[in-house]
């Protein structure tokens, strides 16, 4: 059942380039209420996606809508959206309390209302003791909590959190995760980024897996796992008689596709079993005296991401 526009966050074929560098490419997504996790290694495009969602960046192509509003409409957006950024910088000399209070005043809240909201949210993230100290003297975890407080202070409906668990000790982690679950159950959109899947998989209603600027898998955790496992690997082979090679590699069941390259000087093979395929290819080359110019994985990243995120028997990667 499709939700009305004012209840979802949508990306419609969104691309973002930083000059020549790709940030994200052709992302089409729609987030429903609940907890959604964006997972991917460094440089996957998680922050780019979140900055596009909150108007800190403008898409090169495509369109983003948050609860029916454009991100450039800051007045309407940020009454409903809170963003805990990955930026770990604060205005000089500011205390945790002052930072939150002054930004709430900019929302338009009166003195006493802003004051009580500030106290409430600082209490909620467990920072009451340190609130009147300068942020410059905070530990990483304390800065993280103050940023979180800032994002939830005005009780938004959409909460965007860029690596919110970074720098938190295990106790704080489970407290914060508990908080996210509460918010998610209350019907909020909670969008969390992480580069460790098993850190967020159990709490997420939905996972968006990203790599090198692309969404590589999306759905609930089971769906994502099987999608990643089934994803065949693409290999580009540069050789002189691609049509012959194509006909021969199809002997193998694990080969799902073999396409001649546009320039006629190679072919693109998709296989579920790369090791087996490489052995077959060796035989074909020897039997037919082919001259091979090069063999390279065409989209190795999806597989390396899979290995990185899900593979390995004992948990996630070292970070």
**Is 46 one of the binding residues for ligand ATP (CB under 6 A)?**
yes
170 binding another protein? (CB under 8 A): no
- List strands edge to edge, sheet with 292-297: 255-260, 266-271, 233-239, 292-297
- For residue 87, the minimal CB distance to another protein (Å) is 5
The residue (of 16 and 46) whose beta carbon lies closer to Mg ion is: 46
Closest approach, Cβ 96 to another protein, in A, equals 13
Our finding on whether 134 is near another protein (CB under 8 A) is no
DSSP type of residue 257: E
Q: Which is nearer to ligand ATP, 49 or 153 (CB)?
A: 49
Instruction: Give Cβ neighbours of residue 49 (< 8 Å, ≥ 6 apart).
Output: 11, 24, 27, 38, 210
Enumerate residues 255-294 that contact Mg ion by CB under 5 A.
Answer: none
CA 185 to CA 259: how far, in whole Å? 47
**Interacting span for ligand ATP (CB under 6 A) from 6-14, 16-24, 142-150, 301-309:** 16-24
Does 103 interact with another protein (rule: CB under 8 A)? yes
The listed partner (Mg ion, ligand ATP, another protein, none) that binds 90, CB under 5 to 8 Å by sort, is another protein
**Going edge to edge, which strands form the sheet with 189-194?**
81-84, 158-161, 189-194, 34-39, 206-211, 214-219
% helix / strand / coil in the chain, to the nearest 5? Answer: 40, 25, 35
What kind and span of H or E run contains 38?
strand 34-39
State yes or no: residue 263 binds another protein (CB under 8 A): no
Tell me: does residue 259 bind another protein (CB under 8 A).
no
Residue 33: name its binding partner from Mg ion, another protein, ligand ATP, none (Cβ under 5 to 8 Å by kind): none
Q: What minimum distance in Å lies between the beta carbon of 41 and another protein? A: 15
Neighbours of 106 (CB within 10 A): 9
42 binds, among another protein, Mg ion, ligand ATP, none (CB under 5 to 8 A by kind): ligand ATP
- Which residue lies nearer to another protein by CB, 103 or 292? 103
The residue range among 45-53, 63-71, 180-188, 287-295 that interacts with Mg ion, by the rule CB under 5 A, is: 45-53
> Which one of 57, 146, 248, 268 is in contact with another protein (CB under 8 A)?
57
Using CA atoms, how far residue 63 sits from 29, 136, 142, 216, 223, in Å, is 11, 37, 35, 20, 27
Q: Of the candidates 47, 51, 85, 234, which one interacts with Mg ion according to CB under 5 A?
A: 47
Sheet hosting strand 9-18, strand order edge to edge? 21-31, 9-18, 61-66
Q: How far apart are the first and last CA of the chain?
A: 39
Q: Where are the alpha helices (DSSP H) in 130-241?
A: 140-152, 170-185, 197-200, 221-230
Q: Out of another protein, ligand ATP, Mg ion, none, which partner does residue 195 contact, by CB within 5 to 8 A per kind?
A: ligand ATP
163 torsion bin: left (phi>0), alpha (psi -120 to 50), beta (else): left
Task: Please report, as ranges, the residues that interact with Mg ion according to CB under 5 A.
Answer: 46-47, 86
């Amino acid at each position: 059942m499709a939700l009305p526009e004012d209840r979802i966050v949508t990306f419609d074929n969104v691309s973002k380039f930083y000059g020549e560098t790709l940030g994200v490419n052709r992302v089409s997504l729609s987030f429903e209420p609940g907890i959604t996790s964006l997972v991917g290694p460094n440089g996957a495009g998680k922050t780019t996606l979140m900055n596009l969602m909150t108007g800190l960046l403008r898409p090169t192509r495509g369109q983003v809508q948050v609860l029916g509003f454009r991100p450039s409409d800051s007045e309407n957006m940020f009454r409903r959206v809170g963003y805990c950024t990955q930026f770990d910088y604060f205005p000089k000399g500011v205390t945790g309390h002052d930072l939150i209070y002054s930004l709430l005043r900019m929302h338009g809240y009166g003195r006493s209302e802003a004051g009580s909201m500030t106290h409430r949210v600082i209490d909620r993230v467990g920072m009451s003791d340190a609130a009147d100290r300068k942020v410059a003297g905070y530990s990483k975890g304390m800065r993280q909590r103050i940023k979180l407080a800032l994002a939830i202070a005005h009780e938004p409906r959409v909460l965007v959190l860029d690596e919110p668990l970074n720098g938190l000790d295990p106790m704080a982690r489970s407290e914060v995760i508990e908080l996210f679950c509460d918010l998610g159950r209350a019907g909020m959109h909670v969008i969390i980024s992480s580069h460790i899947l098993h850190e967020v998989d159990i709490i997420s209603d939905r996972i968006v897996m990203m790599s090198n600027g692309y969404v590589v898998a999306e759905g609930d955790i089971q769906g994502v796992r099987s999608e990643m496992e089934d994803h065949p690997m693409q290999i580009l082979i540069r050789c002189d008689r691609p049509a012959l090679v194509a006909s021969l590699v199809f002997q193998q069941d694990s080969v799902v596709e073999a396409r001649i390259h546009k320039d006629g000087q190679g072919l693109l093979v998709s296989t579920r079993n790369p090791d087996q395929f490489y052995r077959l290819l060796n035989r074909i080359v020897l039997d037919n005296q082919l001259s091979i110019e090069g063999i390279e994985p065409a989209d190795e990243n999806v597989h390396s991401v899979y290995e990185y995120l899900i593979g390995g028997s004992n948990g996630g990667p070292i970070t």
